[in-house]
Amino acid sequence: MSESIGNVYTVWIPTCVGMTDASYESPLKMNTSIVYTMKMYYVYILASAKYGTLYIGSTSNLSKRMYEHSNSLFEGFTQKYSVHDLVWYESTSDASAIVTRERQMKEWKRAWKINLINDHNPEWQNLYQNGEILPLPIP
């Protein structure tokens, strides 16, 4: 069982032998659980419109970063070109992997980025809505 709280995922690992989903209880009620937290890191693609201007970034707090982008809180590329729609993202608990992935993707040809978005979000739906990050659609 796991639960997302902002950009931190909490994973509950029961230490009881033979525990099933049917007998699962919150570790807050159990004295025999270990609670691990993992900080998550994200690489993401923003778009101005379908097939429009693209921006690639990375962050450790996707909700906060999307709020900043969507409200143009900082001067820069996304504000200048109105690039505010979150159209793709991936996450990992490995910070160095996200930095590497972002650098790689920034070197990609535009067609590769568009193919990645189309493979995971063919309608280019904005995945940041009402302050929430939506899961990538299942094509």
Comparison of pLDDT for 88 and 21, the residue scoring more: 88
Question: Maximum distance among all alpha carbons in the chain?
Answer: 57
What is the rounded distance in angstroms from the CA atom of residue 114 to the CA atom of residue 48?
Answer: 13
pLDDT in tens, 30-86: 555 566 778 999 999 999 999 999 999 999 999 999 999 999 999 999 999 999 999
Q: Please, what are the domains in the chain?
A: 2-39 (no CATH), 41-133 (3.40.1440.10)
pLDDT in tens, 80-103: 999 999 999 999 999 999 999 999
Q: Which residue has the tokens 């409200």?
A: 71
User: What is the secondary structure of 60-121 as a DSSP string?
Assistant: S-HHHHHHHHHTT-S-SHHHHTT--EEEEEEEES-HHHHHHHHHHHHHS-HHHHHHHHHHH-
* AA letter at 20: T
* AA letter at 47: A
Q: What does DSSP say about strands 8-14 and 33-39: parallel, antiparallel, or unpaired? A: antiparallel
